[in-house]
Amino acid sequence: MTLTNTEQFSVRRSRADHSADDHSLAGVLPLPLPPGGHFIGGSFVPGSSTQLIDVVDPTTEQVIASVQAGTAADVDSAVDAAVAAQKSWGVTTPKERSEVLNLIANIIEANREAFEIIESANTGKPRTVAEDDVSSTIDTFRFMAGASRTLTSMAGGDYASGHTSVILREPVGVVGVITPWNYPLLMAAWKIAPILAAGNSIVLKPSEQTPLSTLKLAELVAGRIPDGILNVVTGQGRTVGQRLADHPDIALVALTGSVVSGQAVAETAAKSVKRVHLELGGKAPVVVFPDADLRAAAAGVRNAGFWNAGQDCGAACRVLVHESVAEEFTEHLVREVSTLVVGAPGAGNDVEIGPMISHPHFERVQESLAEAKAAGLNVAIGGSALEGPGYFIEPTVISHVPAGAPIATQEIFGPVVTVETFSSTEEAVTRANESPYGLSASVWTRDSGLSLSVPKQLDFGTVWVNSHLVLACEVPWGGFKGSGYGRDLSLYALDDYSRTKHVMINHSA
Ligand code: NAD
C-alpha cells in the first residue's frame, strides 16, 4: 500500500501551530548553559587553544553556544588530574563509591528540567525522548551504585601444594571515554557510572556536536564529588579523541560511535596495548513470522524504528517479513507511521520526531533516500526532507526492498524503515545475519519454539522477542562483529572496567 505523499504526517514547526498547553523551550529561555572551558581537576579551565566549536540547534540551525576546541595538551592536563585523583579514589570502598554515584543521581534528579531543556535544544529531540534519557541516566547511576557493592570474584583456595590463592578485583586506572551525539547525557552515564563504580577515574570527550549536557553535569557535580575523578575535555575526535587513545597513562579507552571512529581508536590504542571498549553502529533486523501479531509488530516498529528520529544504534530499521503476510504487515506499518508527529521540541507534547543532528547528517540521509528512489524502490510513505529551517526528514517506509539493497544494509541513522520478505525460517536467519553489524535484532512470533530457536541462531548481542528497544540496567548491551565489543550496563560493564589480580601465598615453609 502506498499513501500519497501529501498530508501524511502532522508537522509542527512552532507553538503557533499548536494550541495545547505543551512544553516549550520558548518559555524557559535563556538556556541554562554550563560554563565554557574544559572541566579538569574539579573546575572549569580555559583551553590551551583559542579555537572554538559552534554548537547548533538542529531545529533552527542557529548557534546556541560555543565550546573549546581542545588540544592534546588539554588532554594531557586532564590525564594528570585523573591519575592523581585515581590514587585515592581507587582505594575507596564500594560503599563509599556507591554513595558518590547516588549523589550524582540525586543531583541530576534535582536538575532534571535543566538537563531535558539542554538536551532538547542541542539535539532537537522531543521532550518525551529527553525525559526518557534523563530518567534512564538517573537509573543508570542508581543501578551502578548498588551493583558495584555486589561484585565478587572467584573464591580463593589452595590450588598448588602449600600455596593459597587470593583473587583481587582492581580498577584499571584512568579510562578515556568518547561519546556520540544521539544520546549525549545517557551515553556518558553508561560509561561514567560503571567506570567510577569500579574505582577508575575518567577523561571524557563528548561529541563536538552535543557537549552541553555533559558540561552541565560537570558544572553541577563540581565540588560535590572528589576533584579529578571526572574530567571533561571538549573537542574533535581527530585531536582530543586520538590523544585519549594514544596517551600512555590511559589504561582503557571506551568509545560509543561509528565503526570508522572505533577502528581509528583501536588502531591508535594498539600502539600502547591499551584496552579498548567499543559500542559501534547497528542495523537491527526485525524478523516477522507469519503467525506473529502483525498489528503489534507494526506498532513495535513505529516506536522502535522512529524513536529519536531513528538516530539509535538499535533502531528497528530493517524489517524481514514472511512473504505470505508482507502486504498486510506493510499496510499496518504505513498506517502506524502516518500517525507520527514531526516537529521541534517546543511545538507540542505530541511531537515524536525531531530533526537529524546536523546538516551533513541530514544530507547523508537524503542521499540514501535519493539512491533508493533512483533504484526504483517503492516508497510506501515519506521519503523526502521537509522544508527548513531545521534538518527534518519525513518518517519513511520503503517496501518490496530486494536483498542486498544499500538502504537495507547500510546504517542510515534516520527515520527510515525498509521492508524485505523471506520465504523460510532458514532464509530469514541467513538474511538477518548477512550484515556487518551485530548489535541487536528482534523476532516476532507466537510460536514458542521459534521464540527460542531463532534468537539462538541470530548473531546479535541483544535479541528481543515480540518487542524491540526495551532496555534495563540489569542486562548487558553491546554488539558482535562490526558493532564492537565490550558491554555497557549490567555487572558485565563492571567486569569490563576492572581487572583481576591473582595473589599466591606460599605458606609451606
Ligand atoms: P562518530 O563516530 O562520528 O562520533 C562518536 C565520537 O567519536 C565523537 O565524540 C567523535 O568526536 C569521536 N571521534 C570521531 N572520530 C574519531 C577518531 N578518529 N578518534 C577518536 N575519536 C573520534 O559517531 P556519532 O555520529 O557521534 O554517533 C553515531 C554513531 O554512534 C552511529 O554509528 C551509532 O550506531 C553509534 N552508536 C552506537 C551505540 C551503541 O551502543 N552501540 C550507541 C549510540 C550510538
180 lines ligand 1 (CB under 6 A): yes
Distance 258 CA to ligand 1 centre (A): 4
Residue 323 has pLDDT above 90, yes or no: yes
Q: Counting atoms of ligand 1 from 1, which one is nearest the CA of 483? A: 41
Mean pLDDT value across residues 131-136? 98
Residue 6 has pLDDT above 70, yes or no: no
C-alpha pair distances (Å), 390 with each of 10, 60, 344: 16, 5, 8
Residue 1 has pLDDT above 90, yes or no: no
Q: Could you give all domains of the chain from N- to C-terminal order, each with its CATH number?
A: 6-10+282-472 (3.40.309.10), 31-280+483-501 (3.40.605.10)
Distance 62 CA to ligand 1 centre (A): 23
Amino acid at 336: E
237 lines ligand 1 (CB under 6 A): yes
To the nearest 10 degrees (0 to 180), the angle between helices 94-110 and 184-197 is 160
Pick from 402, 245, 399: nearest CA to 328:
399
| 18 confidence band (pLDDT: 50, 70, 90) | very low
Contact between 140 and 183 (Cβ < 8 Å): no
What pLDDT is recorded for position 414?
A: 98
Residue 26 has pLDDT above 70, yes or no: no
Q: Counting atoms of ligand 1 from 1, which one is nearest the CA of 313? A: 34
pLDDT, tens only, 248-261: 999 999 999 999 99
Q: Counting atoms of ligand 1 from 1, which one is nearest the CA of 479? A: 41
Residue 7 has pLDDT above 50, yes or no: no
| 310 confidence band (pLDDT: 50, 70, 90) | very high
Distance 463 CA to ligand 1 centre (A): 23
Pick from 420, 422, 397: nearest CA to 409:
420
Residue 126 has pLDDT above 70, yes or no: yes
What phi-psi label fits residue 364: left (phi over 0), alpha (psi between -120 and 50 degrees) or beta? alpha
**Catalytically active residues, by annotation:** 279, 313
pLDDT, tens only, 375-409: 999 999 999 999 989 999 999 999 999 999 999 99
Distance 257 CA to ligand 1 centre (A): 2
Q: Atom 40 in ligand 1: which residue has the minimum CA distance?
A: 279
